Structure 1
Amino acid sequence: MHRPRVAVVGAGVVGLSTALCLSQLGPPCTVMVVADKVTPHTTSDVAAGMLIPHTYPDIPIPKQKQWFRETFDHLFAIANSAEAEDAGVHLVSGWQIFRSVPTEEVPFWADVVLGFRRMTEAELKKFPQHVFGYTFTTLKCESSTYLSWLEKRLRASGVPIVSRRLGDLWELHPAFDVVVNCSGLGSRRLAGDAEVLPVRGQVLRVRAPWLKHFVREGAGLTYVYPGASDVVLGGTRQEGDWNLSPDAETSRDIFSRCCALEPSLRGAAGLREQVGLRPGGRGVRLQAERVRGAAGTLRVVHHYGHRGGGVAVHWGAALEAARLARSCNLGGERCGVEGGSVWDIHTYRGSAGVGSACRQRCGVQSVDTSKVHFAEGGSHLLLLGLMEEEMLICRDVKEEDKIKIILRVHRLLRVSRKRHFRHLAILQQCSEAIPSAFCEAAAKARGFILKQLCCTIT
């Protein structure tokens, strides 16, 4: 039996965790990591590594919370194991403080971290310029240590890490069945994504072993994050800035801002400067696509664009990217149903070549069933389909629309399976995703659809 070959491009925290998820999820496949930079020379090595999630406007909050919870649970298990020191993962408590009361007094991740509560007036006295705050316990990754631990786990699983600078993703064709693009800012060159732009981050690392609690101001531009061997002081978010050299004036500004929050830092020693270019300019791109070229078809799962929040969601997002890559080959050319699972497409942002329906992003409440191709209700992908190149994902689809969608696919299959399913993408759980209780007609259509999926679309 052919063992699928998957190349993961990129060896930052997103790439390594995605490769590890691929190696752990069944059925077996051959995985290789290809990267021009590895730790300690990646953007992830500069990351402060604190598990406090960013908010991505183009991704539904339940999905962001899922990614964060899965990441938190994964790292919490490591922190409670004998691997904690080798992995560089530990618990840390502290405060997030505000100069004015935020619009969202309780963030979406409050019930994921430990002991989340509002700060008391006595606690706020430590920060006289601030009027509101939270206190909680979260996790911190020592970035370079964690990356080295991931590399060790990958090699133990038989996954090689190859040092190679690619000029284009097509260089991996046809040696690999699927390419998972976790190249971050490198996607400008490798995937031709002109939307992805650098968000320059400069941080300082100092020795201040008396500091045990983190301090984060507002949305996190200024922070003091104690670690195992140093304290990370930040930071900057300089959109469109490609400069990788530390700027002395910026360092002075960061240090001044952090000392305003924690005056004892003026006694810190051993200051080091670091700069990293985060992939920004667009939202997270977690998407499968089939790219046609003169050499054939390249099947790609894109997984990048996390800006400065990659560490906080890396494991949950990697699990989702791995499921996309493991399901089958995109397009239905060899797409069989194994355990009720076939290739499913999640498009959180539109991409070049995808039709106008992608402009209707997540959050659509009602659907034009003559144009819908993919719909999600609850935790299941409900639809199948395809006409021309347009694609749409809908969430919280109304019950009557679910019935219409199922019946429409039923008609499409009867009319012309080949024409309408050139880019087949369907059902995460075929056996459960279409509840037969919708109506009698939908129940009959369900049986017909599943039969066609299992028997004829290969």
Structure 2
Amino acid sequence: MSGAEEVTGRAAVSDVIVVGGGISGLTTALELAERGHRVRVWSRDAASATTSAVAGALWWPYRIEPGELVGDWSLTSLRRYEELAGCPEETGVRMVAGLHRGERLAALGPWAGRMTGLVEVEQGLRAVLPLIDMPAHLEWLRRRLAAAGGTVERRAITSFAEPAAQAATVVNCTGIGARGLVPDAGVRPVRGQLVLVENPGIEEWFTEADPDSDATTYFFPQPERLILGGTAGTDDWNAAPDPRTAEEIVARCARIRPEIAGARILGHRVGLRPARDAGVRIEAEPLPGGGLLVHNYGHGGAGVTVAPGCAQAVAELIG
């Protein structure tokens, strides 16, 4: 029996409302719709205004737990993104080479041993990984969901009882919003600030994390822009770009590639990564009246990295 049948006794194909319209919500909705469920997405914000739209977004299991589950979710997602990279103009997914400076294979989880193409060099790890243009990918997900019969509605909720009144199954993909909605006090923001500049000709991505500070250094070549980062400030709710932080980000990136110093700034972005003390929560629980609530939140800095894998895990709970 599926999780839905065990808890509710309902048929496998059911009406589903996914709450949350970021990468986790749209990917989960698409997975369910393509399995035959009648799916609606309720989202407080347009996809372009979600934290997902701000993401870099390089595939890599970064700041996410629990480790014993993350590997499978990440590798399932990697295979999916590799397929989507066959049509980058449509999906927004490209396979791009780059360097994780300072990383070593021995320091990674067991998932790394199941990958091909990770090469340890003197500077760190070189790899060809999915790099996702998030605005394009979110739009692709919306179109694919529509083609599968799903819909997206702009609608905020104050309680899961609201969607439960209209659907047999509710999926919680509310990200940082889960802190108040569930409620779950273990959900907390990890603030990320980015600078968008004109690309001076950089074709490879680069990352370097400083374990002793909230500062990280990375740049990702995306269509028509180069994304510079970043920060990782835990419990920082400030959603406004800080000018001094932006200057520091550009300076750090320019130490790696000096041509970045003269690149014209196109804009600034801030995203609040939805971390959770206990790690990602994918779990089903009964709702009053016989409905099913399935949680899918707490992805921290790797929501894009695990989205397809977590979507499959949710679908298996629902049936």
Task: Output the TM-score relative to the length of structure 1.
Answer: 0.63
1:312 equivalent to 2:308? Answer no
Structure 1 pair 251–91 and aligned structure 2 pair: CA distance change class (3 A): same
Which of 15, 20, 30 is the equivalent residue of 1:10?
20
Aligned to 1:89: 93
Q: How big is the shift at 1:290?
A: 1.7
**Residue by residue, what CA displacement relative to the aligned partner does 1:164-213 show, whole Å, maximum 9, x if unpaired?**
11111111123111100001011122211122111111111111241011
Find the structure with the greater CA-based Rg. Answer: 1
Which one of 192, 209, 212 corresponds to residue 203 of structure 2? 212
Q: How does 1:59-458 map to 2 (within 5 A)?
A: 59-60=67-68, 63-80=69-86, 83-98=87-102, 104-105=106-107, 107-111=109-113, 114-120=116-122, 132-218=123-209, 221-282=216-277, 283-292=279-288, 296-325=289-318, 327=319
Q: Cα distance, 1:255 vs. partner?
A: 1.1
Distance (whole Å) between structure 2 residues aligned to residue 297 and residue 193 of structure 1: 22
Give % identity.
Answer: 34
Paired residues, what number? 304
Q: Is the 8 A contact 2:105 2:125 kept in 1?
A: no
Provide, for residues 94-133 of structure 1, a one-character-per-residue CA deviation record: whole Å limited to 9, x for no partner.
11112xx75935554435655211115xxxxxxxxxxx41
Q: Where does the alignment leave 5 or more consecutive residues of structure 2 unmatched?
A: 1-9
CA distance in structure 1 between the aligned counterparts of 2:79 and 2:242, rounded to whole angstroms? 37
Q: Which has the higher helix share?
A: 2
Partners of 1:95 and 1:254 in 2: how far apart? 18
Q: Is the 8 A contact 2:173 2:297 kept in 1?
A: yes
Cα distance between partner residues in 2 of 1:111 and 1:230:
33
Supply the distance in 2 between the matched residues of 1:227 and 1:114 (Cα, whole angstroms). 24
Which secondary structure state, in structure 2, belongs to the residue aligned with residue 309 of structure 1?
A: helix
Query: Match of 2:280, as an amino acid?
Result: V
Three-state SS of the structure 1 residue aligned to 2:149 is coil
- Cα distance in 2 for residues equivalent to 1:23 and 1:297: 22
| Residue 324 (structure 1) shift | 1.0
Contact 2:76–2:308, Cα closer than 8 Å, also in 1: yes
Give distance in 1, aligned partners of 2:65 and 2:77. Answer: 20
Amino acid at match of 1:118: E
Q: Aligned letter for 1:48?
A: G
CA deviation vs aligned residue, 1:258-312 (integer Å, no higher than 9, x gap)? 11222221121133100111111421111111244xxx34421000110111111
Aligned mates of 1:106, 1:87 — CA distance in 2: 29
**In 2, Cα distance between equivalents of 1:215 and 1:15:** 28
* Inter-partner Cα distance in structure 2 for 1:245 and 1:56: 24
- Of Structure 1 and Structure 2, the greater strand share is in 2
Residues 1:108 and 1:268: Cα distance change in structure 2 (over 3 Å): farther
Q: Is the 8 A contact 1:208 1:267 kept in 2?
A: no
Consecutive unaligned residues in structure 1, runs of 5 or more: 121-131, 328-458
Which amino acid counterpart does residue 180 of structure 2 have in structure 1?
R
User: What do you get for the CA RMSD once the two structures are aligned?
Assistant: 2.0
Contact 1:113–1:138 (8 Å) recurs in 2: no
The Cα shift of 1:237 comes to 1.1
Cα distance, 1:37 vs. partner? Answer: 0.8
1:203–1:234: 8 Å Cα contact kept in structure 2? yes
Please state how far the C-alpha of 1:139 moved relative to its aligned partner. Answer: 0.8
8 Å contact kept, 1:5–1:30? yes
Whether the aligned pair in 2 keeps the contact of 1:119 and 1:134 (CA below 8 Å) is yes
